[in-house]
Every structure is written in C-alpha cells, then in structure tokens.
Chains A and B, each alone.
Chain A
Amino acid sequence: MEQLLQINELSVDFQTPNGSLNAINKVSLQMGRGEVVCLVGESGSGKTITSLSIMRLIDYSKGKIVQGDITLDGNSLVGLSQKEISQLRGKKIAMIFQEPMTALDPVFTIGFQISEVILRHQKVSKLKAKEEAIQLLRRVGIPEPEMRYNQYPYELSGGMRQRAMIAIALACGPELLIADEPTTALDVTIQAQILNLLQELRKELGMSILLITHDLGIAAEMADRVVVMYAGQIVEQSKTLPLFEQPHHPYTQGLLRSIITLEQDRSARLYTIDGAIPSLTALPSGCRFHPRCPYATERCRAEEPALESIDDREVACWHASELQQNDHPLRLAAEQRERERTLELSGRRSDAVLDYDSLAEVEPLISVQGLKKHFPVKSGLLQLSKRHVRAVDGVSFDIYKGETFGLVGESGCGKSTLGRVLLQLDRATGGQVLFKGKDLLQQNVKERKNVRSEMQIVFQDPYGSINPRWTIEDIIGEPLWVHESLKGAAKREKVQEVMKLVGLNPSWYNRYPHEFSGGQRQRIGIARAIVLRPDFIVADEAVSALDVSVQSQVINLMQDLQEQLGLTYLFIAHGLTVVRHISSRIGVMYLGKLVEVAPTDELFAHPAHPYTKALLSAIPVADPTARREYAPIQGEMPSPASPPSGCRFHTRCPAATDRCRTEEPQLQSIGTGHRVACHYPL
C-alpha cells in the first residue's frame, strides 16, 4: 500500500508554569492511502495530542513539537509556518471532533461554515460554493439540505451537527480525515449511522481515516490497523484481526478483557486493570505501564522497552514474546494470582433473583403509576404556556427491594427526568410514586425531607456535581449535617467510615475535589449518596463519563455496596452492555413512554419491541469478524413537544402499519415479567 502519512519518533512538550511537560514520547506510525487506522487508549494516553500535532494545531494550545517528523505525501509538515500549513488544513487533511454541540460557530449558518472552507481552498464563485455545500449536505444524509443550509447550529440535533461537521471536513476532498472520538457524544443508534456513513465515504472517496476512539468495539468495526497508546507512548500496533485475536501487550490484553460483552456471565465481577492511567507529571520509571501490569518484573521497573517488531506487529514490552507461550513462568504466576483473586471474590455477587411468578404478592419498594412530567414551553405575553414537552408521559412500573432496575433509551427519551421525578427533585405533573406504600406526591415538606434520607442520587458528571470549594469531608458529610445534625468529630468518623467503604483512603478527608481523578470523584459521589444508609439510589449515567477500566471498578464497587448495604438501584444509562451487567430487570424508554420491561436475560435473548431490537444491534461488538454492513435504525427521535400519533416509534419502525400510526399500543404482558407496548411484538 502506498504510504500517505508518516510520523517518526514524534515528541510533544507542553509549556506549563512549572516547566515543560512531555505529553507524547517518540510516537511513530504510518498510514497507507485509503487505510483506516484506529488510535485507541484511555483518556490521557496522548491520542488527541498526536492528532492535533499532525494538523500542527498543537501550537495553539501551548504545545511544541520538540523532536521527530511528520510527513504527508513525502512532504514534512513540522517545518512549515502556520500560514503554510493552514493551506493544507481542510484541503489535504481534515478533522472532525468529539463535541458536535460546541465544534461549530454558533453565530454563523451551517451553509456559511461549509462554503467558508470551499472558498478558502478553491477558486470558485460564492454561488458555486453554495451549490457544492448543498450537495455535501445531501451526501452526508441531511434531509432538506437547501433549508438546512440557512440554519444555525443550534437548530440541528447532535447527530445532524456531526453530519454537518463531516460535510465541512469532506468539502475539499481531503486525503486524510482525522476523526477524534466522532461518536462519543452521540447515542448508540446515531453512532451506528455516523460510523456507517464514514465507511461509505471512505469507499467512495478513497481517503485515509485516522479514527481516535476509546471504544474497542468501534475499532474492531472500523479499523484496518489498530494503534494502542498508553501514557503518551505507543505500546502496540498491529493489523486489526491479530490484535483482537492475540493481543501481545499486557495493556492491550487488559483493555480487551475490560470490555463488557453481551455474552459474558453476569454474575461474575467485571475484570479491571488495577489503578489508573498515570498523570504526565508523575510518570513511572521504566515501562510506564508496570505499576498496573500483572507480569511486571525488575527489568520493567528499571528500563523502558522500545517498540519492536514481534511476529506480525510492533509491541513495546520486555516480555511480549515470552508471554505468548502458554506455559511461561511469568504467565503461570499471573494466572495463579488471578485465580486466587477470582476465588476470593466469587460468590460475592448473586444476581438478585426474583421469582417473577409471585411478584404480585410482594410489595414493591417503589411503585410508579401513570407518572407524568410535562414541561411547559413558555411563549408570548405573560408567559402563558401553550404547548408542553412531554418528557415523561404516563409511565408505570415497580422496583423491588434489593434489585437493580436498569432504564435505557436515547438521550431525550425522558429517562433522567423520570429519575428526578422519582426522587421528588422535580414535581410530577400527574400520576403516583409510591415509596414503601406511601404516595410521595401527597407529602408535605417535612415528610418529604424525611423520605429524602432514604433515597439518594449519584450523578453523571463527577466534576460538575461536587462543590470544588468544599473539602470532601464537607461534601460527603453534608447529608449527615442536614438530616442528623452531626458535626465535628462525630461527622468525621462517619465520613471516614464510608470513605473506607467506597475505597477511598480515609486520611484524605480534608482534601479538595480537584486532587482526585474522575473515578475517585465518582466514589466521592457514591459516598455522599450512601452516607445516610438509604434504601434506594438513583444512579443517573453514573459511569458514562469514566474510562473503560475505571468504569468497571466503579460498577464492581456499586455491586459490592448493594450486597453489603442491601441497596436498591435505579440504574439509568445509555450504555447497554453496562446496564445488562448490573441490572436484574430493564425498562426501555422511548419519547417519554416505557415501551418494554423485562428481566435482563429475557430482554437480551428475546427483545419484543422493534426499538429494543434496534438498540441492541446498534452496539458495536469488539469482534472484527462480525462487522455490520448497515446501521440498524434510521432517522432520529422526534421532538417530545410534538410526539407522533399512535405508537410513538412508528416513524422509525421498519414494521409500522396503519394501525401503529393511529392506535397507541398499551404495555401488555407477553410472558413472565415481560411486558411490551407494541401491536406486533417480535
């Protein structure tokens, strides 16, 4: 294959007030014409910095290429001035970014922003540029491109914006497209559509794609070759199939084992890589992965391994080839340790098995009946509301003591609102929420305060949901002060007790949130939620913002706590594999309605609603031999302010009939504990 991009021993430093900081170290990689290379690794591994260096955009964030070379088509990019490189950007190399919400200029139209790049690099008239822009919008699958041309970014959904970003990137027919986590911010159904679009465009235009992702499922689906980065270095690169079949580097092995699959045993604890990715200011000696590596030896601690060719790939590990032998002592020893650990932990988690036949006789911990939450859309004089956004529109289900009820659906389906309404953080518009038999909607202020100590919430964003100016003792202890008037030593004692419980060092009680990593902050959030020993916890996307390995640690912790403290969870998430692992029963939401409720294994084995089925098949599978050829579901969720008539899913349903368009299906039982709202259940 003809070489397109070559990166040789690239090192980038950042200037900080405390001196320069090495962000990526001697990164070398090649890309052929038309090749798709995936750069994978956890946050902080240097993937984005590598990609920004290719574009020389790193100069704008105080970064500096201190060593090495980047050549495109044989021409070096490192020596170019910003003015010279800007003539290549958008023309020969284009880039799309993670956040379609913020990556477009909010005060210019989509059309302007596409035409802008055409006019910059091609000698065409404004009218011609407009024509081309509309063509591009049509090509990336934006309906009514003439109208969209004149719209502003805020008028488009996230998926549409990402399509518009792709249109901008494609405008001048680049040879290399860099896509930095292009689907991370999108729903799994939209993600499948966008990945599919990228595949099509590559075939059509023959460009190379450097795809940066933390999701190995995406890498398996898209990549010809995979490059694994860790702490600013490449640790392994190989063709996709061999990498997934036989990962050589222990970090790659760990990453692959951390993937939660749809097949794995739900009663087992999740595999985790110990510890977390090191900060650039405190890199370990020798091999940077050695503190987390199960095979680490003295040599790993002392000397840094170089990237070397072994078998059909490049690996930076002292023991890479030895570890390929099944009976090598290092491997046997690690396996023994692993066995001991598993033995020690096994049996700790029993899936809260419910006898679904006798559920009718058990009183649920929480019973939701016909719950509604409508947000008025205010307009006109005196803000008289005319329309409502029906975020939650008549939802009924029960949650039993000790179980985990998973709630899934695309963003905007109302799942978070439902969680907030259950906790009385938002007032319901109608319906009932019975907690231990008492209707929470009828309670007065004092009763509501009391019941709040029995139900708590863990939020998604471990950065935004804790007060940065409080010590963690104050953060975790605030509920104790509010509900039990505890202060001083008594409060600290209890705080340190829960800190131990969630795996935080109790002597850190007087530290501030910024001193903790994302995973640790989420532990702080969990500690705050359990400090009053509640019965019920809503976990609203509690692990979505975390890296794969850290995510597994937090899920294991949540399950341990559930066993120890007898907690009941409502686990709200869009990551289906995670929900499958943790939940005993799952509810699927679409546009404010519950469309299917079933025990987890039943739901995954026999999804009865077409929407559930589409969601399940939209999950990227970390198996390069099982690539999908098409996106499982087209279109996007309509606005909850004007939901479609009849079955709300009919606009996207492949099996919709006239009946679906007019008659709204009710949730009906189709088996033990399995209910579905569809006229024609699968």
Chain B
Amino acid sequence: MVKYIINRLILAVPVILGSLTLVFLIIHWLPGDPARMLAGDDHAEDRIQYLQEQLGLNRPLWVQYFTYLWDSMRGDFGHSFANQQPVMDRLLSQLPSTAELAVVSTIFAIITGITLGILSAVYRNRLVDYVIRIVSLFGVSMPKFWLGILLILIFSVHLHLLPAIGNGSFKQVILPAFALGVTGAGILARMVRNSILEVIEDPFVTTLRAKGVTERKVLYLHVLRNALLPSLTIIGVIFVGMLEGAVVTETVFARQGIGKMVVDAIGQKDIPVIQASILICAVFNIVVNLLVDISYSFVDPRVRQQSA
C-alpha cells in the first residue's frame, strides 16, 4: 500500500509540472500588461518601465519561467502585484473559508445524493422515484449563480431566516453550501439510483435470496456496497468541482475565499496570485483523486489486490 501511494505521488510530479507550465503560458499569452494596469491612468512610460522592472516582467520569458518553476518548488509564490503581500499569506488567509464551504457542501451533496438515490431505487417507477428524479434533474441543470440569487431572495430578503452574505458563522455557510452542493447531490442521486438498479440484477443477488438472506440485508449490505463503488469516483470529482464552483458561489454570496480571490486576481492580472491558486487546485485535485483510489481499495478487494 505504502509503495502504491509513493508510486502515485511520483506520478503526480509530471502532472503538476504540466499544469504549472500550461498556466504560465496561458497567462503570458493573454493580452494586457500587468504593469500598465497597475500604473492605472498614469501612462508615463518611465513609470511603466519601472514597474516592469520591479515585477521582473522585463526579463526574457524563459528566465521568468524557470525562476517561477524554481520558486514554486521551494514554496515561494512571490508577492502579489496588486498589494505586495506575500502570495502564500493571502492563500493561507483565504483557504479556511473556502475549505469550510467545500467541505460542508460536499457533505451535504453526499448525504442528500445517496439518500435520494437509494429511495429512488427502492421505489423504482413509483411516485417517490419520479419526484426524486425530477428534483435531481433540477439540481444538475440549475446554474449556481441563479440558484444563489434565488436562495438569497427567498431565505434572506423575504423570510429573513438566514444571512445573505459574508462569512464567519455557520449560519452564513448554509445558503452558499446548499447552492454549491445541489449539483453534486443531483449527480450522485442519479448515479446511485442507476448503479443500485444495475447491481440488483446481478446473479449474485439471486444467490443471496436463494440463501434466504432478508431483503433488507440484500439491499443495504450487499447491493449498496457494490453499488457505491462507482460513486466513490464521482464523490472525488464533486469535491474537486467545489473549488471551481466556489468561484461563482463566493462571488454571489460575497464571501471571502480562494474563488473570490482568483476572480479578483484575474481582473487585475495579478500573475503570482493566479499561478499560485491554480497550483493549489492542481495539487488538491491530485490529492483528492489519490484519496479516492485509496478508499477504493478499502471497499473493493479486487482493487486492493492490484495496488498491493
């Protein structure tokens, strides 16, 4: 197992290098000179030149690239163009808020999704099933920003139940977590329903019934354990997707966090911040996928064999 994890971590290196390179190239290809943007209305050439020198933008591209790679590897993400703060500090200050949002909404998505999926499969082709399928279709197809606005209107403006914006208290997480988690819940509900219905047709289920195993055990012990395997991967994807979702959700709910930070940074072409955030996302993605694969081997003995 340890060997397997080490293998996977080594294989992650080229992935991270690749994403670092891609981000670097894209940012530098985009139109717009950060120095000019920082200079604002002051179009004096010597001021712009001074800023370019300050930010290191006047060096050849490959020098910038390798400096950036080297610094990133040492964990030094440089200073923000916008306010000269170390990027690391900014990231660390924004991370908890986003993590809180992502974790809460993933837990919400998992609990709701799996429960609805099971109910839907158990009551297949009955009213409960139809309602759940329509609801989860809504969940999957509803744009997050629109749902966010709708939630603010209903629960904050009209009912005054929950705060609309900001962060700090748990109450303030509820609405954004719901808005962010609904897509995942919908995807998961449909997925769990389908895989339960698939597994329940497997020949081993007939064997179980022929053994006299109670229907409750057939469903909740045997079928569910088999059916949740494919959902594990989806849960990983959903959790990673929360980071992207945070970009929209944090903006709508005016929450602090990585998402909002990235949106602001892109507006200002704050290169170090953008690069650092993307790197964090890539690392996060790799770690979550690794965790998913490891958890797989706990649930499915066949995978355990291969990774041993």
Residue of A nearest to B207 (CB): A103
Chain B residues, CB < 8 A from A82: 215
Stretch of B153-161, B162-170, B181-189, B297-305 on the interface side:
B297-305
Given known pairs A154-B302, A381-B7, A381-B10, the reply for A104 and B213 (CB within 8 Å) is no
Q: Residue B28 at the A interface, CB < 8 A?
A: no
Given known pairs A102-B203, A102-B204, A381-B7, the reply for A107 and B300 (CB within 8 Å) is yes
Residue of A nearest to B214 (CB): A86
Q: How far is A57 from B210 in the complex, measured between Cα atoms in Å? A: 7
Q: Residue B226 at the A interface, CB < 8 A?
A: yes
Q: How far is A94 from B7 in the complex, measured between Cα atoms in Å? A: 47
Chain B residues, CB < 8 A from A609: none
Most central of B204, B213, B214, B225 by chain A CB within 10 Å:
B204
Q: Is the CB of B203 within 8 A of A86?
A: no
Q: Is the CB of B211 within 8 A of A107?
A: no
Chain B residues, CB < 8 A from A102: 202-204
Interface residues of B in 216-242 (CB under 8 A from A): 222, 225-226, 229
Q: Residue A435 at the B interface, CB < 8 A?
A: no
Question: Nearest-CB distance from A511 to chain B (Å)?
Answer: 28
Q: Is the CB of B208 within 8 A of A105?
A: yes
Q: Is the CB of A106 within 8 A of B302?
A: yes
Q: Is the CB of B209 within 8 A of A57?
A: yes
Question: Nearest-CB distance from B288 to chain A (Å)?
Answer: 22
Q: How far is A372 from B213 in the complex, measured between Cα atoms in Å? A: 48
Interface residues of A in 100-115 (CB under 8 A from B): 102-109
Chain A residues, CB < 8 A from B212: 86-91, 117, 120-121
Q: How far is A91 from B210 in the complex, measured between Cα atoms in Å? A: 9
Most central of A52, A82, A116, A155 by chain B CB within 10 Å:
A116
Q: Residue B54 at the A interface, CB < 8 A?
A: no
Q: Residue B58 at the A interface, CB < 8 A?
A: no
Question: Nearest-CB distance from B289 to chain A (Å)?
Answer: 18
Chain B residues, CB < 8 A from A121: 212
Question: Nearest-CB distance from B231 to chain A (Å)?
Answer: 14
Interface residues of A in 112-160 (CB under 8 A from B): 116-117, 120-121, 152, 154-155
Q: Residue B206 at the A interface, CB < 8 A?
A: yes
Q: Residue A230 at the B interface, CB < 8 A?
A: no
Q: Is the CB of B207 within 8 A of A165?
A: yes
Q: How far is A91 from B213 in the complex, measured between Cα atoms in Å? A: 11
Question: Nearest-CB distance from B287 to chain A (Å)?
Answer: 19
Over the window 46-87 of chain A, the binary record of Cβ atoms lying under 8 Å from chain B Cβ atoms (1 yes, 0 no) is 000000100101001000000000000000000000110011
Chain B residues, CB < 8 A from A168: 207, 211
Most central of B10, B210, B215, B305 by chain A CB within 10 Å:
B210
Q: Is the CB of B209 within 8 A of A86?
A: yes
Q: Is the CB of A89 within 8 A of B299?
A: no
Q: Is the CB of B215 within 8 A of A89?
A: no
Q: Residue A95 at the B interface, CB < 8 A?
A: yes
Residue of A nearest to B306 (CB): A379
Q: How far is A99 from B203 in the complex, measured between Cα atoms in Å? A: 8
Q: How far is A94 from B204 in the complex, measured between Cα atoms in Å? A: 14
Given known pairs A60-B206, A86-B214, A89-B209, the reply for A105 and B302 (CB within 8 Å) is no
Chain B residues, CB < 8 A from A671: none
Q: Is the CB of B207 within 8 A of A107?
A: no
Given known pairs A102-B204, A108-B222, A380-B7, the reply for A90 and B210 (CB within 8 Å) is yes
Q: Is the CB of B214 within 8 A of A154?
A: no
Chain A residues, CB < 8 A from B3: 380
Which of A97, A155, A381 sits near B207, CB closer than 8 Å? A97
Which of B204, B213, B300, B305 sits near A103, CB closer than 8 Å? B204
Chain A residues, CB < 8 A from B213: 86, 90, 116-117, 120
21 chain-A/chain-B pairs, Cβ below 8 angstroms: A57-B209, A57-B210, A82-B215, A83-B214, A86-B209, A86-B212, A89-B209, A90-B211, A91-B212, A94-B210, A97-B203, A97-B207, A102-B203, A103-B203, A103-B204, A103-B206, A107-B225, A120-B211, A120-B213, A154-B301, A154-B302
A contacts, CB < 8 Å to B: 52, 55, 57, 60, 82-83, 86-91, 94-95, 97, 99, 102-109, 116-117, 120-121, 152, 154-155, 165, 168, 380-381
B contacts, CB < 8 Å to A: 3, 7, 10, 202-204, 206-215, 222, 225-226, 229, 299-302, 305
A-B pairs, top 5 by smallest CB distance, nearest first, are A90-B212, A89-B212, A90-B211, A152-B301, A95-B210
Q: Apart from A60-B206, A89-B209, A154-B302, list 10 A-B contacts with CB within 8 A.
A: A55-B210, A88-B212, A89-B211, A89-B212, A97-B206, A105-B208, A165-B207, A168-B207, A380-B7, A381-B10
